[in-house]
Amino acid sequence: MKKIGILILLSFCFIGKVQAEELAPNSESAILLEVSTGKVLYEKNADTKLAPASMTKVMSMLLIMEAIDSGKISFEDEVIISDTASSMGGSQIFLQTGEKYKVHELLKGIAVASGNDAVVAMAEKVSGSVSAFVEKMNEKAKELGLKNTHFDNPHGLESKTHYTTARDMSVMAKELLKHERILEYTSLYEDYLKKPDGSSVWLVNTNRLVRFYEGVDGLKTGFTNQAGYCITTTAKRGNMRLLSVVMNAETSDLRSKDTVSMLNYGFNTYKLDLLLTKENDLGEVSIEKGKKLNTKVYLDQDITLLKKVSDAKEEYHYNLVVEPVNAPIKNGDVLGYLEVLDKGGNRIKEVNVIAKEDVPKASLWDLGIRLFEFITSGLVF
């Protein structure tokens, strides 16, 4: 590999995971992390398998958003409500067999009002049947490396073999947050669903923190007798987004209390340094046998480093590491990575670097012209 030093000095210091049981005293299990770095700031029994109740819909919404982003379905597609969907118990938005709704309307019904009928209708839309959708849920769990999660349904009603952990739920939620448009729905405190007969259903978010805690814009609550009161929450202040999970609290007030405790701790204790963005030009790399001789490279994600507000500064620098590049290349192709190094040369972090343009392979004509220009420039072979 070829290493190109980039003379940029940074400030960063190491931080450790906090073990502060008092942050979530009312919950059986909990976790708090910063989203862009994935750094766990606090955890309590985070790998204990528990029933997730309607937090299950985090995975359901993830599969729905993936289907939309892939073009399999669109926000404007119509969904015909089946007998199976309309007969769902638990929380619902009162869909009737044969009614037609747009995907975006049902997604709102899932995200805001936790409609079991809406999520079943969408499961059928995405996969053809609920069972096929649940199979996809478990496949996605394996893909994400979740070893302590198993789904029996898309809604979270009680089942003996339907379980997850706070840590696994945080991974699902972090993945869902990559689909930023979902926050347009999960951040709504209240809205209305217009029914085909002209009447409306009032949708009220069961996550009261959306209204009462600064920065909260999602994600999903849950409750059954087996699961107790659960909540997966995300909040953003400035450039830092936190994600918390609380499982098996005795009341909705206590799950909110533990969530607020964790979020307050995170926002008051840590800050996020944005070092480089995806828009920063990192320089050029040579392309062999390409229509162009070189192309600029960029990060595939922002580089952020998390530290405590009280931490002292330390200097860091970068190395750009690139493989030999042969044409053709496409926009988005990974061409190497950027290392963040400490002053002792130890690697702290690495982020992929990508091309932001297509570079086709040079034709024989292109190579001939290039050779002619080389000869006529007065250079000697």
Distances (CA, A) of 98 to 78, 102, 196, 381: 12, 13, 10, 77
| Start-end of H helices in the chain | 57-69, 83-86, 103-111, 116-127, 130-143, 166-176, 183-186, 209-212, 252-269, 364-376
- Tokens (6 digits) for 47: 């790998």
Residues recognised as catalytic: 54, 57, 114
Contact 137, 151 (CB under 8 A): yes
CA distance 125 to 122: 5
Give the chain's end-to-end CA distance (angstroms, integer): 27
List of E strands, the chain:
2-11, 27-34, 40-44, 78-80, 100-102, 190-194, 200-204, 216-224, 228-237, 240-249, 270-276, 284-288, 294-299, 303-308, 315-322, 325-326, 334-342, 347-355
Separation between Cα atoms, residue 172 and residue 150, nearest integer Å: 13
> Strand pairing of 240-249 and 228-237?
antiparallel
Can you name the residues that pair with 223 across neighbouring β-strands?
229
How does DSSP classify residue 92? -
Are 61 and 103 in contact, with CB atoms under 8 Å apart? no
